[in-house]
Amino acid sequence: MEKSLLLLLFLATSSYCSSSEQSIVDVGVYHDHVKMTSSLMLLRERYPRLTHLYSIGESVEGRSLWVLAISALNPDSHVTLRPEVKYVGNIHGNEVIGREILLQLAEYLLVNYGKDDDVTNLLDNTRVHIMPTLNPDGFERSIEGVCYSQVGRNNANGYDLNRNFPDFFEDTGLRIQAETAAIMGWLKTEHFVLSAQLHAGALVATYPLDNLHPAKKKLYKDVLQDNSPYSACADDDVLRFLALTYSTHHGRMRMYNETTRWANYNPEMGFKDGISNGADWYAVAGGMQDYNYFADGCFEITVEVNTCMHPPRAEISRFWEENRAPLVQYLKQVHRGVKGIVTNLVDNSLIHGAEVRVHERNLPQRTTKLGEFWLILLPGNYNIEISKSGFDTRMISVEVSAELYQTTRLDVSLRSTSSEIAPPISLISILCTLIVINFAEV
């Protein structure tokens, strides 16, 4: 039924919109699932060379989980060493502004390709995946104008999707939901380097880790009376910088008096610089942010875009204007650090699953099926360690530039420990062998 309705709406509007340059995504309305799907289809029709529309699965109630991929070259497939980045909105169905500003972002990128240098450089060198909603069922239940409510927050089965992922530190014991499984499957088909998820209820950009070992959590609580201790990962410097990138380019997020901690029900406390370590705000088990980091090596932050979860539609345009610049500037950060391809020294074949890490950082990146890797790093000198079972480990020193789009290229060949090349057979050895054979025959 849903697919038939969407097809009729698409056919009725496509001929008009494709011949007109008027905006496809209306900034003055909330897009329910039918309107959102129609808008994505119309963007796909108007910009066929720049877009690829696909679904990663369905919600509990059967609504498609749409993703619009945007790039200047082959938006429907991966290009070697072109990084994949993503935005995911509306994880909590009643936190709706992320859904709307991601629809606006999609059209903004398409309209401004070839006109705006930032947008053009981004799409020439990156494939951007925009998923406006992970929780379309919850959105349909949410109530406009209600800032703080649980109505529509969870999926149709009553599960909080941002507590439903496998957790690195503890077993949540929760049944994986259809929407969660769709994201997990997506991460297996695409290797994302950079990501952000959009929420509401506060004004802050948070970064991993969201959780920590239960024993450590209990120790901080019992001994230090700290219910939310800082939980740093090996890439804390980079992730903190990424969160700062977003908050710095936002008009209000970096202002202490604007970043009230509504989720802690304390409007007097703000966030310094508009950012926070996830666990330092409040610890979350089963979050999507940590799952991206540990399962796929993807650097993901969480952006709380406004304190009201479902504001009146008249306010959508203001939130879009506030977040337009940081949304673009954040994605550009994927073009920092080191990238390259790992191959077999003997036959130059691509090595899948090699571990690439900054020396003494415990979480490695793993090479793709094409042997690719990306390390987002801040400017400086690093020792990069490349290893794979059955191959000699290599350590290579590199310098990382401060300039965007000046990623250091590091292609590495590994020597197999099980394919030693036999020494050449000399002519004398061959003659001696023939003599022995001749004597044996006599």
The residues annotated with a catalytic role in the active site are 304
What is the spatial distance between Cα 199 and Cα 214, in angstroms, rounded to a whole number? 26
Query: Side by side, which strands form the sheet with 394-400?
Result: 365-366, 355-358, 380-387, 394-400
Partners of 194 in the β-ladder: 85, 299
Give the position of tokens 């991601």. 102
Q: 190 and 78 in contact (C-beta within 8 Å)?
A: yes
Please provide the distance, in angstroms rounded to a whole number, between the alpha carbons at the two ends of the chain: 90
Cα 192–chain centre separation = 5
Residue 295 DSSP label: H
Task: Tell me if 354 sits within 8 A of 371, measured CB to CB.
Answer: yes
Q: What one-character DSSP code corresponds to residue 424?
A: P
* Cα distances (angstroms) measured from residue 214 to each of 18, 196, 229, 264, 303: 55, 26, 12, 21, 25
Report the alpha-carbon angle 424-430-436, nearest 5: 140
Q: Are 147 and 307 in contact (CB under 8 A)?
A: yes
Which residue's entry shows tokens 């130059």? 348
CB hemisphere CA count around 168 (13 angstroms)? 21
Q: Where are any strands of DSSP class E within 215-354? A: 275-277, 299-306, 338-344
